[in-house]
Amino acid sequence: MVYFCGQLFLFNMHITITGDLGSGKSTVAKELCRILGYTYLSTGQIQRNLAMEMGMNTLEFNRYTDQNLHIDDYIDKKVKEINDIKEPHVLDSRLAWHFINTSFKIYLMALDEVAAARVMKDDVRIGEPLASDIQGKIKELRDRRESENQRFSSNYGVKPSLFTDFDAVVDTSTATIENVTQLLVSLYQMYVLKLRAPKIWLSPLRILPTRTEITTDFSEMYTGNQPVFYKNPITCFLYKREFYLSSNLNSLHECLENKCPFIPVELISKNMDDQFDISTFINHHFYEDDLLKMEDKYNFKYIRQQL
C-alpha cells in the first residue's frame, strides 16, 4: 500500500528491472522492495553463484552458457514461475521483462566510465573478472553485454528497444539511490493509475547540445500530474550511443544550473520525413566547441560513449 496524492492505493503489479551492467539494478531493486514491501529475486545472483560453483568468473560463465543452453533453461524456469505467484516481486533480471506476462518494465542506464568505476569498487560482487584500469573494465563489460545480447537474440529472438519495450528508462549516472527510487516509485504509481508521464529520464550531463532546434509538438503527452524533478521534456536524437539535443535548449541549461539528477526526454527514433537525416543534422549542427563552453559554464566534464 502506498500513499499517492493524499490517497492510499494498493499496488500489486510485479516490477521487472534490466539495463546496463553497473547501472545499479540490484541496489535499486532491493530499495524498491524495501519501500514497497515486495519480494526480491535476482537472476544475476543465481548466475554468479553457479559460476562460482564451476570455478568461472562472470564473463567466462556467459561464454559457457552460449554453448550450454540448459543453464538459461534453468534460470528461465525460475523467472517464469513468478507468473503464478500473486505476491508482488521486484525481479532483477536481464529477461524478466520478456518472461513476466504483466509487469512494470524498468531499464536502467549508466555512462560507460561511471558503470565501470562502480563495478570495480563493488567488493560485494562475486565472480567479477579483474581489470587493471577503467578502460579494461569498460571493454570487459562491453564484451559481456555483447555476449548476452547475442545469446538472447539467437535463443529467444529478443532485441530490446528503449522506444517500445520499457515503461521507464532511467539514467543513474549522476543520481543518488534516493533520486532513482523516488522517481521510479512515482512513475510506477502513475503507470498503475494510467496517468501519462515521460518514460525516459536521462542525466543532463549525457545530453549533447546542438545549435539548431527543431520544433516538435508534444503538448498532448501530459495530464498535469507530473513526476518529480522537472516538468518539461526535451527532445533528442539517439545516434551512435549518444543523445543529441533537438529542442528545448533552455531546459537543459536550467537543469545543469540547478544540478538536477534527471531531465525527461522524448526520443525521436527515426527520420522525421524523407528529406531529414539524423546524421546530416548532427554533422551540420553539432560542434565540439559547444561542449567545452557547457563544461566551463557549469563546471563538469562530458563523458563520451564508446562504440
Distance of CA 251 to the CA centre of its chain: 22
One domain for residues 20 and 129: yes
The C-alpha atoms of residue 207 and residue 244 are separated, in whole angstroms, by: 6
Domain holding 85, by residue range, is: 2-156
Asked if the structure places residue 174 within a domain, the reply is no
Each residue's pLDDT tens digit, 1-45: 555 455 555 578 999 999 998 999 999 999 999 999 999 998 877
Helix axes 69-80, 43-53, angle to 10 degrees: 140
One domain for residues 120 and 200: no
Find residue 201's DSSP bridge partners.
Answer: 170, 264
One domain for residues 150 and 252: no
Q: Model's pTM, two decimal places?
A: 0.83
One domain for residues 224 and 144: no
Each residue's pLDDT tens digit, 72-98: 788 888 889 999 998 999 999 989 999
Asked if the structure places residue 176 within a domain, the reply is no
The pLDDT of residue 121: 85
CB 267 within 8 A of CB 162: yes
CB 285 within 8 A of CB 277: no
Instruction: Report, as an integer, the average pLDDT of 293-306.
Output: 90
Identify the domain boundary among 127, 156, 185: 156
CA separation, residue 6 to residues 3, 34, 128, 294 (Å): 6, 21, 45, 40
Asked if the structure places residue 167 within a domain, the reply is no
Each residue's pLDDT tens digit, 224-279: 344 344 456 888 988 888 999 988 888 889 889 989 999 999 888 654 555 567 88
Asked if the structure places residue 305 within a domain, the reply is no
Tally of helices (H runs) and strands (E runs) in the chain: 11, 12
One domain for residues 137 and 13: yes
Domain count, the chain: 2
Nearest Cα neighbor of 270 from 288, 246, 250 is 246
Asked if the structure places residue 161 within a domain, the reply is no
Find residue 15's DSSP bridge partners.
Answer: 90, 104
CB 194 within 8 A of CB 126: no
Each residue's pLDDT tens digit, 130-140: 667 888 888 88
